[in-house]
Amino acid sequence: MKKKYRFFLNPYRNMAFTKCPKCDGKTKVRKFCLMIHCGPPKPRPGQRIQLLSLNKSCKFCPYCELIIAKKAELEEVLQPMFSQMGIPFSAENYFVMGTMSREDWKQNQKEPLEIKEAIKRIAVFRDVWDFEVRPAGWYFEDEN
């Protein structure tokens, strides 16, 4: 499988990440076609799995090739889609697996690709990063 970009699902509602949490460089706003795996991570036979593509504005650090998407914004869009597909919505029932190029995405909108073909065109993330943000202040050591 092709691999491209790194990904961070930003769980902080009040953190915009105008700077990259890794290299401290300025982030840009860029639209990406995110590929989202919907359904339980380990499906039982007969359970439904769907691949969704979502064209979404994200923060992007060109130096780290890091895409930062806001979790709350993503879930706002995903929730109604899940109920349409008849899949119960929970944070465990989806994950962002990679991106698709704009050209492939447009083609898929015109004429949906077969799932096998679609999977071939997905670039999965090289890495998924997680960052913990701590409010400024004092912390007692034993508070951990």
Applying CB under 5 A, the residues found at the interface with Zn ion are: 20, 22-23, 25, 61, 63-64
CB of 22 to Zn ion, least distance (A): 4
Q: Beta 28-38 vs 50-61: how paired, if at all?
A: antiparallel
CB of 58 to Zn ion, least distance (A): 13
Q: Positive or negative, the Cα torsion across 87, 90, 95, 100?
A: positive
Give 25 or 88: the residue with its C-beta nearer to Zn ion: 25
Q: Which residues contact 122 (CB under 8 A, 6 or more apart)?
A: 1, 2, 35, 97, 98, 99, 100
Give 20 or 87: the residue with its C-beta nearer to Zn ion: 20
Enter the tokens of residue 26: 């300025």
Give 4 or 37: the residue with its C-beta nearer to Zn ion: 4
CB of 32 to Zn ion, least distance (A): 16
